[in-house]
Amino acid sequence: MSLLLVISAAAFGGSAAAYLPHVAHRLAVPFGEPPRSACASCGRRFVPGPGGWVRVGACCASRAYGLTVVAGAAVSTLLAVALGPCALLPVHLLAVVPGLLLALIDLRCLRLPDRVVAVLAVVTVPPSALLAPDRIGTALVAGGLVLTAYLVIALLPGAGLGLGDVKLATVLAVILGFAGWPAVITGLVVPHLINGPIALALLLARRGRPLPFGPALLAGALVAVTTA
């Protein structure tokens, strides 16, 4: 294991994550509404153009900013330690950025924007297909099965699963398909092991409310990739 590789991965994850709280704040809006043009806390308007998006830090003082940077560095470090200097490591490190952004947005407003899910797919699926062409069939079958199963569940009354969850789960299943069926199965089981006890605790406490499923899906994919 190369110490330089681990340090470089941690530096990449932490520095990339530093830009995400501001973007997440602008995108964490109800479905159908445009991104925020001003800070929801202080009312300060954002600079038009790219300068209003590419900015280190949160919109206002927030402890979540530091936690986001730590999370980006920690996830990237875990990937580097688990995978080592393999060809797919850069692909998974790139996936940390849209993945963490999706988790931040879902935690804020129970929504997984299609464009960010699409970015996750673009930065992972084509490179994985080029690096592991013999696994394309497995990846596509895994994605198709998960899409069908989750779509059926989402259409059930009171299922608590949104179409954003369905799309994210499908993309993650395709990504994990390049690692094999054990990774796909792990990625399917772990999210329910994470959200299940939380939902039960809320039910027992009579505090039933919708739970974001995106972070659990992403955490399950991380466990699957690092243990496959």
Max Cα–Cα distance, the chain, nearest Å: 52
* Lowest-confidence segment of 7-21, 38-52, 104-118, 144-158 by average pLDDT: 38-52
pLDDT in tens, 75-103: 999 999 999 999 999 999 999 999 999 99
- What is the distance, to the nearest Å, from the Cα of residue 191 to the centroid of all Cα atoms in its chain? 12
Range of the domain at 81: 3-227
If one compares 9 and 63, the residue with the highest pLDDT of the two is: 9
Summary mean pLDDT of the chain: 91
User: What's the whole-number mean pLDDT along residues 69-80?
Assistant: 97
pLDDT in tens, 152-200: 999 988 777 899 999 999 999 999 999 999 999 999 999 999 988 877 7
Distance CA(145)–CA(151), nearest Å, equals 10
Q: Is the dihedral of CA 20, 22, 26, 28 positive or negative?
A: positive
* Lowest-confidence segment of 35-49, 107-121, 193-207 by average pLDDT: 193-207
Distance CA(25)–CA(123), nearest Å, equals 22
C-alpha R_g of the chain:
18
Distance CA(145)–CA(184), nearest Å, equals 11
Residues 165, 175, 17: CA angle, nearest 5 degrees? 70
pLDDT greater than 70 at residue 61: no
CA dihedral 156, 158, 161, 164 (to 10 degrees): 90
Total number of domains constituting the chain:
1
In the 8-state DSSP scheme, what is residue 36?
Answer: P
pLDDT greater than 90 at residue 130: yes
Whose tokens are 């699926």? That residue is: 125
User: What's the whole-number mean pLDDT along residues 207-215?
Assistant: 81
Most confident of 60-69, 101-110, 194-203: 101-110
* Lowest-confidence segment of 33-47, 54-68, 130-144 by average pLDDT: 54-68
